[in-house]
Amino acid sequence: MAVLTSRFADGLAVHADLGEAAEVAIRQALSGLSGPPDLVCFFICGEDPDEIVRAGRRAMAMVPNAHVIGCSATGVIGDARGVELTSAVSAWAASLGDARATTFALETLRTSDRFVVVGLPDRALDDQVAILLSDPYSFPTDAFIEHSHEVLGTLPIIGGLANGLQGRGSVRLFADGEVYQEGAIGVILSGPVTIGTVVSQGCRPIGPSMAVTRAEENLLLELAGQPALARLEDIVSDLDEEDRELVASGLQIGVAMDEYAERHERGDFLIRGVLGIDPEREAVAVGDVLEIGRTVRFQVRDAETADEDLYELLDAHLEQVGRVDGALVFSCNGRGSAMFGSADHDALAIRDTLGPIGVAGFFAAGEVGPVGGHNHVHGFTASILVFSS
C-alpha cells in the first residue's frame, strides 16, 4: 500500500511479472499524491535485463508529463520494506511545486591523455542537489565524485551505484523515456525545494586519534611517529574479545573531516576500508591515499553500531528540521539481511524516526553522499536524501 502524503509517496510490488510489478508500484505511488507528479523514481530487481527494460519502459510510459529516473538493482526498498534478490519494483513520486527537475545522462570519453565525463547540465545559482545513479562497470563513479567540486562546486550529490542480478552487462538505467546500458543518469533539483542529507556510515571508533606522520600512496607507514602496524597491534591488544572479532571480520579506518576539532568522535570521519598489512614494512594498507598530517582513527562496524548510528542521525536531522515529508534511500547491498538479518531494517528505521512518509530506494553497490561538506562514494552506508516542508 502506498504511503499517503501531500507531496511525496511510494509504492512497492513483488511479482514475477516485472511489467505488472512496475505498473502496480507506479500506480500506488501516484495514488498517494495530492497533485500531478513532477519527478518519479523507480528501481527494478529482476533476473532478465530485457524484462527489466520492458518494465522500465512501461513505468516511464505511465508518467509522460513527469521527469523520470530509475535503475536496475539487486534489491529494492519501498512501503517500509526491503526486498532482496526477488523480482520486485519500488517507486517514488514527488510533487515539487515551483521547484525544477533537470535530468541528465553522463558518458565517459577518452582523450589523448585522460577520460572526460560529458553530459552534465549547466549549473544554476539555485541548484539544490543532484541525484546520481551509475553503472559501476562502465562509469568512473569514484573519480567523478571526488572531482565533482571542480564542476559542481558545493552542490551535494546523493545516490547509488546500480547493479543487476547477472552482474556486469546487466545494469540498466532509465531517464525520461530513454534506456542506457552504461554510464550514469540523474537529476538536478533546483529552486524552492528544501532538502537535507543523512549519511550513516555505521562505524564506531577504537583506539585514539592519530596523525599520519609517514605514508606512501595508500600505505600508512607511521602513525603518531611510530610504525603503523605497531600502533594497530597496540590498539587491538587493548580490546575485548568481541571487538577483536570485529577487527578480524573487517577493520576500517576513519579520516577526520575537520582537522581542527578538539575531539574526533563517531560521525566525524570519512570511513575507508583497511585492505591489509605489510609486515616487512610494518605498514597498513588502506582504501585511500592519505597525506601526511591527516588525522585518522581505526574503526569497527557491526549491526548494533550501524543501527544506533542510523537512528541517532535520523533523530538529529528531524530535531533540526522539525518535519520531514519524503525521502529517497540508497542502502548498501551489504546491509539489509546480510548485516541486520532483515532486509527491512533501514526502511523501518526511517519510518520509526521520520514518520509514515513517502520513502523508496534500492540496495546499491556503493553509495554516494556528502560527509563534512564534500561528496564521496561509500560502502556499507545508508545514504538518504530528505525532503522537508
Residues 159-217 pLDDT 10s: 999 999 999 999 999 999 999 999 999 999 999 999 999 999 999 999 999 999 999 99
Query: Is residue 141 situated within a structural domain?
Result: yes
User: What tens digit of pLDDT does each residue of 94-135 get?
Assistant: 999 999 999 999 999 987 778 889 999 999 999 999 999 999
- Show which of 245, 270, 300 is a domain's final residue: 300
Q: Which of 245, 292, 254, 248 lies closest to 273, judged by CA? A: 254
Domain range holding 159? 8-200+306-388
296 and 218 within one domain: yes
Query: Is residue 3 situated within a structural domain?
Result: no
Query: Is residue 34 situated within a structural domain?
Result: yes
Cell of 254: 576513519
Query: Is residue 179 situated within a structural domain?
Result: yes
Query: Is residue 2 situated within a structural domain?
Result: no
- Show which of 255, 283, 300 is a domain's final residue: 300
Angle 176-182-183 (CA atoms, 0-180°, nearest 5)? Answer: 75
335 and 219 within one domain: no
179 and 51 within one domain: yes
**Whole-structure pTM value:** 0.92
Amino acid symbol at 251? L
Query: Is residue 155 situated within a structural domain?
Result: yes
Can you tell me which residue has the cell 526498498? 77
What's the pLDDT score for residue 265? 66
377 and 356 within one domain: yes
225 and 127 within one domain: no
User: What tens digit of pLDDT does each residue of 3-48 get?
Assistant: 444 799 999 999 999 999 999 999 999 999 989 999 999 999 999 9
What's the pLDDT score for residue 263? 67
118 and 265 within one domain: no
Supply the angle between the helices 18-31 and 49-61 in degrees, to the nearest 10. Answer: 30
- Show which of 284, 300, 316 is a domain's final residue: 300
102 and 74 within one domain: yes
User: What tens digit of pLDDT does each residue of 215-234 get?
Assistant: 999 999 999 999 999 999 99
133 and 31 within one domain: yes
Q: Do the Cβ atoms of 116 and 109 come closer than 8 Å?
A: yes
DSSP string, 355-368: -S-EEEEEEESSEE
Query: Is residue 97 situated within a structural domain?
Result: yes
Supply the angle between the helices 303-321 and 345-354 in degrees, to the nearest 10. Answer: 30
Query: Is residue 377 situated within a structural domain?
Result: yes
Give how many domains the chain has, as a whole number: 2
Q: Can you give the length of the chain in residues?
A: 389
Q: Which are the contacts of 30, defined by CB distance < 8 A and separation ≥ 6?
A: 9, 11, 37, 62, 63, 93
271 and 135 within one domain: no
292 and 320 within one domain: no
What's the pLDDT score for residue 262? 63
Asked whether residue 372 carries a pLDDT value surpassing 90, the answer given is: no
Give the C-alpha separation, 89 to 197, whole Å: 24
What average pLDDT does range 48-54 have in this prediction?
A: 98
212 and 190 within one domain: no
Q: Do the Cβ atoms of 8 and 326 come closer than 8 Å?
A: yes
31 and 156 within one domain: yes
